[in-house]
Amino acid sequence: LFAGEVTFVKGVVAMSGLPGADRPEVCFAGRSNVGKSTLINALTGRKALARASNTPGRTQEINYFALADSHYLVDLPGYGFANAPVAVVAKWQALLKQYLQGRQTLRRAFVLIDARHGAKAVDEEIMALLDSAAVTFQCVLTKADKIKASERDRVLDQVRATLARHPAAYPEIVLTSSEKGDGIETLRAIVAGID
């Protein structure tokens, strides 16, 4: 699945801009700086496919990538900027809600959590939105190379406890390091198994 060509399809700022709902798709969500761009690049084997969106005021686009002729990978704007303008946050939340509730071909959301920090209140807000939209979501811990085994177990427990509060959560947590390559093949196999 990931061996074929991966292409950037388009950046979307409104529901009317979504590409045709003709393929299964999975989306990636996470706080800004969680390592989402790096993970998408690692998954697709393309160094600069997804770009970091590290400017709070920047246009919040939903970026669509196509895996050969199978799935769409959907990169949602990072959330949780400390000083993001209220209007930017509101616009993003509205689009996110419309997208999650209205996209028929969305099969699963991956919610990325920094392995050092665990699930935060903003992550739970997204999870609650996914619950209400009945979109199954799976947690992916990022930057696993940055923590010790003891720390990792503590964070896994915390994330498990968080997931237990969310009916749309898929129980299996994927531990990844884009830096070391850990979990990348596992995540590819998970995406490949979704149709």
Give whole-number Cα distances, 121 to 34, 79, 84, 127, 162, in Å: 14, 11, 16, 10, 10
Q: Which is nearer to ligand GDP, 30 or 118 (by Cβ)?
A: 30
* Chain positions contacting ligand GDP, by CB under 6 A: 30, 32-38, 52-54, 78, 142-143, 145-146, 177-179
Closest distance of CB 11 from ligand GDP, Å: 14
Nearer to ligand GDP, 5 or 145 (CB): 145
DSSP class of residue 87 equals H
Task: Select 17 or 181, whichever has its Cβ closest to ligand GDP.
Answer: 181
At closest approach, how far in Å is the CB of 179 from ligand GDP? 3
Q: Radius of gyration (Cα) for the chain, nearest Å?
A: 16
Residue 77: C-alpha distances to residues 113, 151, 172, 193 (Å): 14, 28, 24, 25
CB of 128 to ligand GDP, least distance (A): 21
Q: Hey, is 122 helix, strand or coil?
A: helix
Provide, rounded to whole angstroms, the least separation between the CB of residue 75 and ligand GDP.
Answer: 8
Q: Nearest distance from residue 40's CB to ligand GDP, in Å?
A: 8
Cα 195 to Cα 175: distance, rounded to the nearest angstrom: 22
Among the listed residues 25, 65, 21, the one whose alpha carbon sits nearest the alpha carbon of residue 46: 65
Cβ closest to ligand GDP, residue 22 vs residue 149: 149
CA 135 to chain CA mean position, Å: 13
Task: Determine how many CB atoms are found less than 10 A away from the CB of residue 31.
Answer: 21
Provide, rounded to whole angstroms, the least separation between the CB of residue 195 and ligand GDP.
27
> Which residue, 25 or 75, has its beta carbon nearer to ligand GDP?
75
60 vs 178, beta carbon nearer ligand GDP: 178
